[in-house]
Amino acid sequence: MSEKDFFDALPDDMDISQTDVQQSAPIIRQNVDIMATDTPAVPLQQNQAVEPPSIEAQLAQAAPHIPVAQNPLTAQQEILNQGEMPTEYASEATQPAQAAMASMETEASHKVMQIPQISIQAFYETNVAAQLLQTSAADRRMSRTHITMQAGGIVAAANFYQNIPTPNLIVIESRLGQQELLNALDQLAEVCDAGTKVLVIGHQNDIRLYRELVSKGISDYLVLPTEPLNFIESIFDIYNDPATEPLGKKYAFYGAKGGVGSSTLAHNLAYTIASEIKDSVTAIDMDFSFGTLGLNFNQDPMQDITDLLKTPDRIDDATIDKMVIKYSGHLNLLPNISSIEKTETIGVEAVQTLLDCVSKNVANSVIDLPHIWNEWTKACLIGADQIIITAMPDLASLRNTKNIVDYLKSNRSQDIDPIIIMNQVGMVKKPEIKTRDFADTIGIPILTEIAYDPRLFGTAANNGQMLHEFTKTDSVLAQLSELAEQIVGKKTQQISGKKSLLDMFKLKRSA
């Protein structure tokens, strides 16, 4: 698209003087470290020792006469020093330098930059933003994401999330003035779930606005027009900032004894989180001998997990991507080829490397653990963000649950208590321990009781279906939805009183 066609595509009411920044980059932050230097450009003839000529030298040769305030090599630092954002960089004099910048941008695009599996919802106001979002969504670096778009801007976003959970990332385009935008963001904060991040795309090239947005907890602010790679890199930086909490949470499911239904609940809750909360999930089958993840979803494993665990140096994003089965837009499966012939010793470090690799690229990792007690299963339990123990109302479950809870309390003294689910309650002619007595003995309340229903669960399992796929009316579906909200900590709720986005995003950390 030519420059003329580009500007012809902008809305008539847009202030072109505020959007003619030819160097497409986020405010304050640039793609290349040399942008943040306060040293004036050096003419090429003074730098003959460099062979071949460096990018810096090429830029300097292209624009040796550009004033410091306009030179792309130094404008970044000037912005920081002066406390204001220049309204334009582009001029006839800077065209050669910008051509060199485009070359640098191409080189920067080759760096490894894969966006994790997150849900993104974008609200745009102009065709320029819509085109940016569409082009970015089609990029290979965004292949793991689930992105949806709709018109309406920030007002539409605030109304849209009144009664539904918010995604991992909300992208907002806004042409509002500074104060109107800040007020609208406060309204959006009232319906945002904890952990949701917000990226704003605007039309005001104003450093003061940027600082105000950052102070409110906005993850980044981009000025239109900008390139798709800048938009993608902004998302990448949001989820790769070492100062922020990692994206993925690990939920370990463990049965108090064999046959209590821990795997069935793990698989159904993974499906519920993906389908009802619309959060990204990877379900991992860690039962290498008798695992049922593939059977319950009617999927054949791509490769064997145990083969990968034998050579942990092979565990990386590319290998995991080849092994996972994409069951739906938000749900991935990592089943294994179950075999009773597997007698190899599984190393703790190998298991932790596998789970860390999976969890850094997805919001929720559901870990289906076998009912065995060894070093790596204990490490999985201790290292999980939340533990879900499934028990039955009998004496064996009571004894085992108490032992497990006591062990976890002594080894996770600063963590929240595990969630206890009482399953298969109401089995005909079978004596049961009352839930209240069970809870009093282990010292933890029972979160919910799931009734014994062999026909429902058995038929769904034999069909290779989850309960939400098999029936739409059974009361257990509501229980699964409540459990999913309780485990993930994301549910639709109204917050009384105005809070900044920073307050909202820190709720999860302070909980």
Separation CA 270–CA 283 (nearest Å): 6
Give the CATH number of the domain where residue 398 resides. 3.40.50.300
Query: What's the sign of the alpha-carbon dihedral 43, 49, 50, 53?
Result: positive
Which pair of tokens denotes residue 258?
Answer: 């064999």
Residue whose tokens read 């665990």: 309
Q: What is the pLDDT along the chain (511 residues), one digit of tens a residue?
A: 554 554 455 454 444 333 333 333 333 333 333 333 343 443 434 344 444 444 444 434 444 443 333 343 334 344 434 444 443 333 343 344 344 444 444 444 444 567 888 899 999 999 999 999 999 998 888 888 889 999 988 989 999 998 888 999 999 999 998 899 999 999 899 888 888 999 999 998 989 999 999 988 899 999 999 999 999 999 999 888 666 566 689 999 999 999 999 999 999 999 999 999 988 999 999 999 899 999 999 999 888 888 889 888 889 888 998 999 999 989 999 999 888 876 667 889 999 999 989 988 898 999 999 999 999 999 999 999 999 999 999 999 999 999 999 999 999 888 899 999 999 999 988 899 999 999 999 999 999 999 999 999 999 999 999 999 998 888 899 999 999 999 988 763 333 333 445 444 444 333 3
CB of 442 within 8 A of CB of 398?
Answer: yes
Indicate the pairing of strand 325-326 with strand 331-334: antiparallel
Q: What is the pLDDT of residue 8?
A: 56
Which pair of tokens denotes residue 475?
Answer: 């009361």
Residue 449 domain-assigned? Answer: yes
Please tell me whether residues 257 and 365 are part of one structural domain: yes
C-alpha 282, offset from chain centre: 12
Please tell me whether residue 390 adopts helix, strand or coil conformation.
strand
Separation CA 468–CA 481 (nearest Å): 10
Residue 18 domain-assigned? Answer: no
| 114, burial (CB in 10 Å: exposed 0-12, middle 13-18, buried 19+) | middle
Domain range enclosing 194: 119-244
pTM across the whole model: 0.62
Separation CA 234–CA 125 (nearest Å): 20
Separation CA 370–CA 373 (nearest Å): 9
Q: Which of 211, 244, 277 is the last residue of a domain?
A: 244
3-state helix, strand and coil shares in percent for the chain, rounded to the nearest 5: 45, 15, 45
Separation CA 29–CA 46 (nearest Å): 29
Of 385, 353, 396, 390, nearest to 370 by C-alpha is 390
Please tell me whether residues 323 and 430 are part of one structural domain: yes
Please tell me whether residues 163 and 312 are part of one structural domain: no
Half-sphere exposure of 111 (CA within 13 A, CB side): 14
Residue 111 CB coordination number (10 Å): 9
b/e code 125-156 from CB counts within 10 Å (16+ = b): bbebbbbbbeebbebebbebbbbeeeeebbbe
Task: State the total domains in the chain.
Answer: 2
Residue 193 domain-assigned? Answer: yes
Give the CATH number of the domain where residue 202 resides. 3.40.50.2300
- The DSSP call for residue 429 is T
Residues whose CB falls within 8 Å of the CB of residue 450, separated by 6 or more in sequence, listed in order = 261, 265, 421, 422, 423, 424, 425, 476, 479
Please tell me whether residues 316 and 457 are part of one structural domain: yes
Residue 434 domain-assigned? Answer: yes
Residue whose tokens read 């994409």: 326
Amino acid identity, position 14: M
Residue 130 domain-assigned? Answer: yes
Please tell me whether residues 331 and 211 are part of one structural domain: no
Please tell me whether residues 377 and 394 are part of one structural domain: yes
Residue 109 domain-assigned? Answer: no
Residue whose tokens read 């102070």: 215
Q: Which of 187, 222, 244 is the last residue of a domain?
A: 244
Please tell me whether residues 407 and 439 are part of one structural domain: yes
Q: Which of 244, 276, 296 is the last residue of a domain?
A: 244
Please tell me whether residues 178 and 131 are part of one structural domain: yes
Please tell me whether residues 172 and 158 are part of one structural domain: yes
Separation CA 266–CA 296 (nearest Å): 11
First and final CA of the chain: distance in angstroms? 49
Please tell me whether residues 267 and 186 are part of one structural domain: no
CB of 307 within 8 A of CB of 288?
Answer: no
Please tell me whether residues 323 and 415 are part of one structural domain: yes
Separation CA 75–CA 39 (nearest Å): 11
> What is the H or E stretch that residue 410 is in?
helix 395-411
Peptide bond into 52 cis (omega under 30): yes
CA distances from 464 to 105, 176, 198, 208, 297 (A): 48, 51, 38, 56, 5
Please, which residues bridge with residue 198 across strands? Answer: 170
Residue 327 domain-assigned? Answer: yes
Please tell me whether residues 186 and 319 are part of one structural domain: no
Residue 71 domain-assigned? Answer: no
CB of 238 within 8 A of CB of 197?
Answer: yes
Indicate the pairing of strand 386-391 with strand 364-368: unpaired
